[in-house]
A and B are shown apart, each in its own frame.
Chain A
Amino acid sequence: MNLAAIGVGALVGAGLLGGATLSMRHEVKAAASRVDASAQGQKAAVAKADDAEVGYCTADFKAVLARVIHACGLSGAGGGRGCQPADVKTLASIDDADFNALFQPLKERAAVVMFAEGSDQLDDEGKKLLEEKWDERKGARYFFVVARASKSGTVELNRKLSHRRANSVRFHVADKFQDPDLDKQVGLLWLGKEFAQLDKEFCAWDVTHPEKCDPEAINRSAFVSWVDCRL
């Protein structure tokens, strides 16, 4: 009887221990094979941190943006900095009104820094507004500067003037913020008086001198904005 009881006890013990251990090993091996499976590409993708992308980043907007970025030196591929009116007309492949319409959704993000007639010097209000807008970067990747000139004067003169205005903005940002990646962020366009003149409705935007704003004055300006689009 005692031997039989010992046998039963040993058998039960071996059964319990063996069963539990075998099922445990099975679970361990199943986990190991799941790891191998995930290593072979079945692992769920985890989102990667990226630049901001908001609603106004339509296909048309991004197409223009992409052309500007590549053609105007931001991608780092070319040696040039900025785009002039002839480039913009070509690369944007759209008319003046459509070009300006693309920027309409930036109303809350953008500012228009106005210059005195014939001047490329930023005044104190202009510097302050520019710095405020630069500080509001959040997750944006690109900072656009679109400089213009009013209709008075020759095409050539206004082209050069708007170029200098765009550079004034860039130089001030560079001096003030010392950002080593500036050249990969700031896109310069100067349109002179030839292309995509702003109409008076832009006076209602965030401008430096709203009291002086009229259809002529609004174009003696640099339109500045961070652009929350990925490319």
Chain B
Amino acid sequence: MWNRIGRVVGPALMTVGALAGLAFAWTSTLDYASHLDRQVHDLRCGFVPGVVAAPGADEGCRAALYSPYAAFMRDKLWGGIPISTLAIGAFSFLAAFALHQLITGRKASRRSVSFLGVASVTPLLVSLFMAYLAATRLGTFCKTCLGIYFSSAVLATGGILALLALPRETSLPVPTVPDGRSAMPSPLPERPEGKWAFVVPWLIAMALCTTSPAFAYLKSAPNHDARIAACGTIEKPLPAKSELAMKMTFGRATGATKRLPVTLIVDPLCPSCKALHKRLDADGFLEQMDIGVLLFPLDDACNWMVDRPVHAGACDVAKAVYCGHKKGQGAQVLEFAYENQAALTALAKGKEGKDAGKAALAMLESNFSGLGACVADKATGKALDAMLRFAVANGLPVSTPQLVLGDKRLCEEDTDMGLIYSLKQLAPELARPLL
């Protein structure tokens, strides 16, 4: 049995796993690359590589795509280099090596089997690390990533089986029937030992294969520098001591004395705002920023610039954030709204105007007492109007989120994949993130 496992089953599993992993990594890379045009596109998000996901069924893949863990060198290149390019190279190498062993069978040296067995486990180790990050940092798994994890597991299983078979293989004779007359037992050929010296070129080949797609990506990626700086400045900035932008402290307390003044224009019920907030937090930028929050609810109950409740109930939730700020809890209320965005949206859904707001507000009040009276106060509505008129005075786009560094506007297209690179371009003083 171990003979068959070592000669066929192990290499075959490795070949299949590596090819499947390659297919998932390839589609993931294509999705990433398609977003280099700074627009939003459908994703090939599914358990079958290459199939475009139905609208709304790609949240996990999109969260992964925009996460800090999807790419590296993100402060050197817009969007960075997708980590899946490394997977393309590694799976290609491993697929070819495994196929070679499948063809050569017992003629493959023990050294090569050992090398491939150990190498085949590396994608699984990386997958486990990425799965841990997805579970703990993103709170969601993308189907394409799960495909890579599963493929890595198949690959590693094949490699481990081949490794386990190595000391268990025998040279027991197998029956052969020459000329169809008599069974003449002949021993299996001994697997050659191989040379340690071959391990070095194999390692070099693996390293070259693994990194070459990343180099190719780096070489062909477009330069967005001119576009990053093209979104202009705020023409009528707020006075230094203006209370219109609500000063809030987010992120870990670092005691940093010098923080970059930043204005965040957000809608508490806008998923993109929540995602940007998470990205800024995960990348360690929030704690380097002196943030003034301006509320811009995309809800026609209070915002005259929209003709429908894009985010029903957002007006009252925004007022609740303002009221929380007056009580010194603005950051907490806003982050609570982000964390419970789905629930708040569900409460407001299907209701109109004030009823939508009331439903969402009830949930906020159960966690932050005393908001109701403040939300109903005319002065609160007036403050919100003033924030909306700031957008009018500066001719800002009717969209959220918007981020202003000092008086420089960050383009909407730069708030997701290209966030780190764009921030570094507009504000070089921001500390470099880890990834």
Contact = CB atoms under 8 A, between A and B. Distances in A.
**A, B: real partners:** yes
Nearest to A10: B96
Given A35-B37, A47-B397, A138-B304, A20 B213 contact: yes
Nearest to B93: A13
Counting contact residues on chain A (CB < 8 A from B), the size range is: 35 or more
A39 interface: yes
Contacts of B33: 24, 27-28, 31
A126 to B, nearest CB: 19
Given A21-B216, A50-B305, A2 B104 contact: yes
A35 B22 CA distance: 28
Contacts, number: 147
Interface stretch (B126-134, B267-275, B383-391): B383-391
A2 B107 contact: yes
A46 B305 CA distance: 12
B301 to A, nearest CB: 11
Nearest to B210: A17
Chain B interface mostly:
helix
Interface string A122-144: 00000000000001011100000
Contacts of B227: 35, 39
B325 interface: no
B395 A8 contact: no
Contacts of B99: 8-9, 12
A4 B100 CA distance: 9
B122 interface: no
Interface stretch (B59-67, B84-92, B347-355): B84-92
B96 A49 contact: no
B48 interface: no
Contacts of B22: 16, 20
Given A17-B89, A137-B385, 11 more contacts: A8-B100, A9-B100, A12-B99, A13-B93, A21-B213, A24-B30, A24-B216, A24-B217, A25-B217, A27-B33, A135-B382
Interface of A: 1-2, 4-6, 8-10, 12-14, 16-17, 20-21, 23-25, 27-32, 34-35, 38-39, 46-53, 135, 137-139, 228
24 contacts: A5-B103, A8-B100, A9-B103, A16-B22, A17-B212, A20-B25, A24-B26, A24-B216, A27-B29, A27-B30, A30-B34, A31-B33, A31-B34, A31-B36, A32-B36, A35-B37, A46-B398, A46-B399, A49-B396, A50-B392, A135-B378, A135-B382, A138-B385, A139-B304
